[in-house]
Amino acid sequence: MVKNVPQLNLRQVYPATSEEFNLNTCGDVDCGNYGVAPDFSLPTFKGRNAAQRKLLASVKLPALATGQGIYTLSGDDKATRVSQVFEYKGNPRVWDDGRNLICHHQKGNRTCEV
């Protein structure tokens, strides 16, 4: 049995990008976030009047309006994954992970959500 992994945020698990290494964080090749790393400098808005504050901030930061570089790491306790790691090929390990990276780029009049 594998020990529980502490809840991590995207900033903790996303590797630093370089010219040699960058993840395609959005799987939709037609999305504006395809090949775009998360932008951790963008503010997040929570609580009362969050939508209004985000709308005001997007005037100065266009990336907020388009969702450029904006992702969410979410969790789902019901998802189970089987490891396909080479070393476990003969004896695969199963663990509850359920973490998904959700893209928030605006495509037309809707959010990508891949």
pLDDT digits (tens, 9 = 90+) for 21-70: 767 788 898 999 998 888 888 888 899 999 899 889 999 998 988 999 99
Is residue 93 included in any domain, yes or no? yes
Q: What are the tokens at 29?
A: 């090749």
Is residue 97 included in any domain, yes or no? yes
Is residue 87 included in any domain, yes or no? yes
Over residues 87-95, mean pLDDT = 65
- Contacts (Cβ under 8 Å, ≥6 apart) of 87: none
The whole-angstrom separation of Cα 94 and Cα 83 is 6
Q: What is the pLDDT at residue 81?
A: 62
Q: What is the pLDDT of residues 9-33, one digit of tens each?
A: 778 777 777 777 767 788 898 999 9
Number of compact structural domains in the chain: 1
The reported pTM is 0.67
Is residue 62 included in any domain, yes or no? yes
Query: By residue range, what is the domain housing residue 79?
Result: 22-111
Q: What is the pLDDT at residue 85?
A: 59
